[in-house]
Chains A and B, each alone.
Chain A
Amino acid sequence: MTEQIRKPADYKSAIKPIWCPGCGDYGVLSAITKAFAKLRLEPENTAVVSGIGCAARIPAYINAYGFHGLHGRALPIATGLKLARPDLTVLAMGGDGDMYSIGGNHFMHACRRNVDITLLVMDNRIYGMTKGQPSPTTEPDFPTHLYPDGTHLQPLNALAIALVAGANFVARTFSGDPNGLAEDIAMAINHPGFSVIEILSPCVTFRPEQRDWKHQVQRNVLTPAASVAEALQVVTTGPELATGVIWKGDRPPYEGPGEKAGIALDRLLEGFAA
């Protein structure tokens, strides 16, 4: 096939997003289409898999193959798809609840497994879709209907987990900077193995104060660390709202058990002969 020059708009589907006006996820959608255009991805050879939540509605808005699955289960679906179809470019997406709470186990194991998938987590530190319950990243004193006095729980440091669990590319970005975000997404897609991009993406409805992130975020101040230990330093002691690429690893991606593990059918059948 001859290579087509595609514009970001070519990667938008005709479906209108259900998001609230001003939701950070619009910026993510825009950045994704820019990144796809930059990489000239063929829509038919690209698959976008998500779970459930406001953020997870995104596949339908993208012109590519999509899978809008179950709350928390985007990563296993993406993993099965990528292993069975290594020819596809596979991305997984969802919110902080989707990926870090109900899908937390898959998140950890996807990092460890290191299949060549790019994960985008739209972190708004709240459950948007179910109207404002605390998520694993919600600040301990943030009041909700469920916990009027806050959760008193320490927020989860998901990027630290990603680093120690073996993710091969780790970045924090901001939806209010679609161009910077597009660069990072393109870089993550090109990086072999499992890539995690945490996107600060405001929920203007249940966390209106996050509108201020556009003044607070320190854009693109982070650079890839020299070691996982150094990268850990950055995500554990550095400023929370600083963005940039934090880690680029060189672990080879996992593609399956490998041919050597195979046994031919004839030999297996011989094993039954009595």
Chain B
Amino acid sequence: MSQTSLNSVSFAISGSGGAGVMTAGEILLMAAAKAGYYGLQTRSVGPQIRGGEAASLMRLATFPVHVHADAFHILFAVDWLNFDRFSGEIDLAEGAIVITGKDSGELPEKVAQTASDVIRLPLHDLLKETKGRVNMLAAGIIGRLTGLPEDALADAIARRFASKGNALVEISTATMRTGYAQGEKLLNHEQRLAPPEPRNGERWIINGNEAAGLGALTAGVKFAAAYPITPATEILEWLSPALTGAGGMLIQAEDELASINMIIGASFGGAPALTATSGPGLALMAEGLGLAAAAEIPVTVIDVQRGGPSTGIPTKSEQTDLDIALCGMHGEAPHLVLAATSVADCIRTTAWAVHLSERLQAPAIMLSDQMMGQMKTIMPRPDLPDLKAERETVASCGEEDYARYALTNSGVSPMALPGTPGCMYTADGLEHDERAIPSTRVEDHAAQLKKRWRKLADFDYGNAWADISGEGPLAVITWGSTAGAVEEASREAEEAGIRVRTIVLRLLSPPQKAKLEAALEGVETLLILENSFSGQFARYLRSFFTLPENVRTFHHPGPRPVTAREVLEAIREAAS
């Protein structure tokens, strides 16, 4: 039975070490982009370092997508070794098909129960002729079943393996074609995508970590220091040659204490500076962030959140560093906290974090997470933001004493960079007076604290503090990568006749009290959504804002992200 075409198709390709399931996914994503579709790819891996079982989780669609769908239409399992490691992330949709090898053994119980059709193919025999790899066979079969053009697949293979030589391209293409032909025989199991909108303009495939690196680069970051940590490492790997190419550099520090202090040193010298880490690293940087707040040195920290506490679940997502990002400093250390709302938004929000940090001489934390950071997404080529590091500095100092920490109207004090004649001063984490001289006086502490607070609180952040859409008495509020599920669910709710106002916060600190309360005007029920066990975001909202009387919350911990179906159910419940 051939089915009607779909606007969104999800599939998973899994297999043990060396099967190349991630590469198969990449090929399919590239081919989909070429054909004009949108889509995304994430990977799920076991705990082993390299090799080991992995699953490429894919979604292709006729419209831009930011999150996985709730269930998968196709599961291609090369084998079932350790499949239970990711079976929790692969729920099968009604009518889903499972494709596996003839002799790949028994299906796991969960799969056997939910699959509507199991197709067992002689995978080894199919590979005999081309001597290719099973992953290219999978790409061909899935490509055919989802309706991707064969040429687009061949083109993707040629580009993906260009650096590896012609022989590999030829074998891989031939194997893909074998798969494509095999798919032809399975067309009664087709999960065909509807034709795409005509593709206008260039498309990119990029993940949130690369996007964050790009945001940093376009904002003018010149120095980065960081210590490798999953899932932030790709930012460093992308940024290192990029910064060198732009006349800057990235240094691998000996630990996160060094990372944060190195960027403070570079920024003191005038270089816009940044580090990237995950929760455990952010915890180690807390003291340095306090120093940057006190000494008023601009620095940006990207935190790609992962499951915690402690080493937690390094390869999986969660939105649980909110508490430490907002309130994890010692003393009172006003700082900026921003959160990207999608993979594409990682570019803009990182650039904005750098821009604000430089402008306001304060540390900024930019929150991303594993899901967004490592999700490869097809998107229209974005315009690069015009948000630059523009630090105001003093050109020279006259006779009178230079007051580095002068109590100005804006709270931002004149900053002199080393090399500026006549302005020599000592930046200090000790409380100080206006001239940077250490002071324990009540008056100096009060005045400097207030100044550091004021410069952030009184600044006009414009409209970018949140993305707001829709109207009506029911509002949904969220932050970070959960925005993807909220956007999709809200659209579906609207289609079902439920009006929803959605608010996605981008600037979390300083809290934009007046603006959010205005955005909530007329709201009777507020639904708060997030990916945390204890409801950190709900706690934040309750402590900084006056909320509508009727507040509902929906949250659960990672590694399962909040899905659009869960959001839709929560919306229905809140609306009833």
Enumerate chain A interface residues (CB-CB to B < 8 A): 13, 15, 43-45, 47-49, 59-60, 63-70, 72-73, 75-85, 87-88, 105-106, 108-109, 256-259, 261-265, 268, 272-274
Which residues on the B side are within 8 Å of A105 (C-beta)?
254-255, 257-258
Q: How many residues of B contact A (CB 8 A)?
A: 66
- Please determine whether B265 and A106 come into contact, CB atoms closer than 8 angstroms: no
- Please determine whether B268 and A81 come into contact, CB atoms closer than 8 angstroms: yes
- Please determine whether A66 and B287 come into contact, CB atoms closer than 8 angstroms: no
- Please determine whether A76 and B268 come into contact, CB atoms closer than 8 angstroms: no
Bound together, the chains give a CA A256 to CA B268 distance in angstroms of 18
Residue in chain B with minimal CB distance to A261: B244
Any chain A CB within 8 A of the CB of B445? no
Residue in chain A with minimal CB distance to B396: A44
- Please determine whether A80 and B421 come into contact, CB atoms closer than 8 angstroms: no
- Pick from B255, B269, B378: contact of A80, CB under 8 Å: B269
Which residues on the A side are within 8 Å of B34 (C-beta)?
274
Residue in chain B with minimal CB distance to A77: B265
Interface residues of B in 481-519 (CB under 8 A from A): none
Any chain A CB within 8 A of the CB of B420? yes
- Please determine whether B418 and A45 come into contact, CB atoms closer than 8 angstroms: yes
Q: Given contacts A63-B424, A65-B424, A257-B240, is CB(A79)–CB(B262) below 8 Å?
A: yes
- Please determine whether A67 and B422 come into contact, CB atoms closer than 8 angstroms: no
- Pick from B205, B270, B288: contact of A274, CB under 8 Å: B205
Which residues on the B side are within 8 Å of A264 (C-beta)?
245
Q: Given contacts A73-B257, A87-B419, is CB(A263)–CB(B245) below 8 Å?
A: yes
- Please determine whether B424 and A265 come into contact, CB atoms closer than 8 angstroms: no
- Please determine whether B266 and A80 come into contact, CB atoms closer than 8 angstroms: yes
Q: Given contacts A45-B419, A81-B265, A265-B242, is CB(A273)–CB(B425) below 8 Å?
A: no
Any chain A CB within 8 A of the CB of B427? yes
Most buried by A among B240, B241, B378: B241
Most buried by B among A15, A77, A264, A274: A274
Which residues on the B side are within 8 Å of A49 (C-beta)?
265
Bound together, the chains give a CA A70 to CA B285 distance in angstroms of 12
Bound together, the chains give a CA A81 to CA B297 distance in angstroms of 12
Q: Given contacts A69-B429, A84-B222, is CB(A261)–CB(B254) below 8 Å?
A: no
- Pick from B244, B257, B262: contact of A257, CB under 8 Å: B244
Q: Given contacts A60-B428, A67-B427, A73-B288, is CB(A256)–CB(B251) below 8 Å?
A: yes
- Please determine whether B258 and A109 come into contact, CB atoms closer than 8 angstroms: yes
Bound together, the chains give a CA A66 to CA B436 distance in angstroms of 10
Residue in chain A with minimal CB distance to B258: A76
Enumerate chain B interface residues (CB-CB to A < 8 A): 29-30, 33-34, 202-206, 210, 214, 217, 222-223, 225, 238, 240-246, 249-251, 253-255, 257-271, 273, 287-288, 291, 295, 378, 381, 418-430, 437-438
Which residues on the B side are within 8 Å of A273 (C-beta)?
202-204, 381
- Pick from A44, A84, A257, A274: contact of B266, CB under 8 Å: A84
Chain A min CB distance to B397 (Å): 9
- Please determine whether B33 and A274 come into contact, CB atoms closer than 8 angstroms: yes
Bound together, the chains give a CA A4 to CA B211 distance in angstroms of 49
Chain A min CB distance to B263 (Å): 6
Chain A min CB distance to B290 (Å): 8
- Pick from A59, A76, A87: contact of B253, CB under 8 Å: A76
- Please determine whether A69 and B291 come into contact, CB atoms closer than 8 angstroms: yes
Which residues on the B side are within 8 Å of A67 (C-beta)?
265, 268, 295, 426-428
Most buried by B among A59, A65, A69, A265: A69
Which residues on the B side are within 8 Å of A69 (C-beta)?
261, 264, 291, 295, 427, 429
- Please determine whether B270 and A84 come into contact, CB atoms closer than 8 angstroms: yes
- Please determine whether B265 and A257 come into contact, CB atoms closer than 8 angstroms: no
- Please determine whether A68 and B418 come into contact, CB atoms closer than 8 angstroms: no
- Please determine whether A80 and B245 come into contact, CB atoms closer than 8 angstroms: no
Bound together, the chains give a CA A76 to CA B292 distance in angstroms of 14
Bound together, the chains give a CA A273 to CA B30 distance in angstroms of 9
- Please determine whether A88 and B418 come into contact, CB atoms closer than 8 angstroms: yes
Bound together, the chains give a CA A68 to CA B291 distance in angstroms of 10
Chain B min CB distance to A77 (Å): 4
Chain A min CB distance to B218 (Å): 8
Given A76-B225, A268-B242, A272-B381, list of 17 further CB < 8 A pairs?
A66-B426, A80-B266, A80-B273, A81-B418, A84-B273, A85-B270, A85-B419, A87-B419, A106-B254, A256-B244, A256-B249, A256-B251, A261-B241, A263-B245, A265-B246, A273-B202, A274-B202
Most buried by B among A63, A81, A261: A81
- Please determine whether A109 and B254 come into contact, CB atoms closer than 8 angstroms: yes
- Please determine whether B254 and A274 come into contact, CB atoms closer than 8 angstroms: no
- Please determine whether B418 and A65 come into contact, CB atoms closer than 8 angstroms: yes
Residue contacts A-B, CB under 8 angstroms, 16 given? A44-B418, A60-B438, A69-B261, A69-B429, A70-B429, A75-B258, A76-B225, A76-B261, A77-B261, A79-B251, A80-B263, A85-B419, A106-B258, A261-B241, A274-B34, A274-B202
- Please determine whether A83 and B266 come into contact, CB atoms closer than 8 angstroms: yes
Which residues on the B side are within 8 Å of A66 (C-beta)?
424-427
Chain A min CB distance to B233 (Å): 16
Chain A min CB distance to B52 (Å): 27
Bound together, the chains give a CA A77 to CA B264 distance in angstroms of 6
Most buried by A among B202, B240, B246, B424: B424
- Please determine whether A70 and B287 come into contact, CB atoms closer than 8 angstroms: yes
- Pick from A64, A75, A80: contact of B225, CB under 8 Å: A80
Residue in chain A with minimal CB distance to B290: A70
Which residues on the A side are within 8 Å of B245 (C-beta)?
262-265, 268
Chain B min CB distance to A47 (Å): 5
Which residues on the B side are within 8 Å of A84 (C-beta)?
222-223, 265-267, 269-271, 273
Bound together, the chains give a CA A180 to CA B438 distance in angstroms of 31
Which residues on the B side are within 8 Å of A85 (C-beta)?
266, 269-271, 418-419
Most buried by B among A44, A78, A259: A44
Which residues on the A side are within 8 Å of B429 (C-beta)?
68-70
Which residues on the B side are within 8 Å of A88 (C-beta)?
269, 418-419
Bound together, the chains give a CA A45 to CA B268 distance in angstroms of 13
Bound together, the chains give a CA A230 to CA B193 distance in angstroms of 74
Which residues on the A side are within 8 Å of B265 (C-beta)?
49, 67, 76-82, 84
Which residues on the A side are within 8 Å of B287 (C-beta)?
70
Bound together, the chains give a CA A109 to CA B438 distance in angstroms of 30
Which residues on the B side are within 8 Å of A263 (C-beta)?
241-242, 244-245
Chain B min CB distance to A62 (Å): 8
- Please determine whether B254 and A80 come into contact, CB atoms closer than 8 angstroms: no
Bound together, the chains give a CA A63 to CA B401 distance in angstroms of 13
